[in-house]
Structure 1
Amino acid sequence: MAGTPFSQQVLKPTNAAKKLGVYLPATPPEFQEHGITRAELEELEKNPPQWLDELRRHGPHPRPVVAGRLGISIAGLARGGVTEPLTTEQIDELRDDPPAWLLAERETAAKVREEEDRVKAKAAEQAERQARRAR
């Protein structure tokens, strides 16, 4: 029995919104109520309708987008008390006049990135050593 072709697989609205980087409750009712195929999702990416452009430009944005725009983790947002989606204007206000919690979370995020880079470099160095020994 053959499965559904990849492009015809239907995504739940929640997953489609995640892939598009938008806050599901802010999407049009027809998007929220019906699954969309991967082909339709690809078409939305290539030729976004006005509602999608507006949501991406102005929000409200889901937590992963908010966290990314602020340069912190989703957990950092929660620690800062941000539990609701934010608009682009609200994100810009936080960027322009960052509260103490945001500055602390940015510092934490920078340390995490430094540690991730250090671990990657160490792993690459070990892989290179092993490759030299294998020659």
Structure 2
Amino acid sequence: MSRPNAQSMKPATAAKKLDVYLPATPEEFQQNPITRDELAALRADPPQWLKDLRKDGPHPKNLVAAKLGVSIAGLARGGVTEALTTEQIDALLEQKPDWLISERESYQNVLREERRLKAQRADKTR
């Protein structure tokens, strides 16, 4: 990778932009700043390690939450504190533990309320 400069970012930032779990990335990625050009190249033509991480995980919490249909706080309430693999996520979706059912319902209620409030605000501005 490259030297730090105004156009480079920390590995954690690059991992976040790539939607991957930093500790699961190769050591070279974790230890070196990434330039914007390098990030663009990783997005345009992902190496095998990036393809594998995106497919199999472990995935960062934001993606785990999205795949399970819950909030990140809902993950914590359900006891999920670590990154999960695609296989673990699929198993949770298949098993449907009580916490997951409850958190999915709660999250959908929150989203419905947010949509309602947004529509209400839009009506007031008309």
Q: How does 1:68-87 map to 2 (within 5 A)?
A: 68-87=66-85
Counterpart of 1:60? 58
CA-to-aligned-CA distance 1:20-75 (integer Å, 9 cap, x gap): 11010100001000010111111111111000000000001111110010010000
Counterpart of 1:119? 117
Equivalent position amino acid for 2:50 in 1: L
Counterpart of 1:99? 97
Return 5+ residue gaps in structure 1 as ranges.
1-7, 129-135
Return 5+ residue gaps in structure 2 as ranges.
1-5
State the Cα distance separating 1:97 from its structure 2 match. 1.4
> Percent identity of the aligned residues?
60
Counterpart of 1:5? none
CA-to-aligned-CA distance 1:88-133 (integer Å, 9 cap, x gap): 00000001111000000000100000011001101110111xxxxx
Higher-Rg structure is 1
Q: Distance in 2 between matches of 1:70 and 1:63?
A: 10
Structure 2 residue 22 is the aligned partner of structure 1 residue 24: yes
TM-score by length of 1: 0.88
- Superposed CA RMSD in Å reads 0.8
Counterpart of 2:3? none
Equivalent position amino acid for 1:34 in 2: N
The alignment partner of 1:92 has SS state of: helix
Counterpart of 1:41? 39
Q: Distance in 1 between matches of 2:71 and 2:46?
A: 27
Counterpart of 2:11? 13
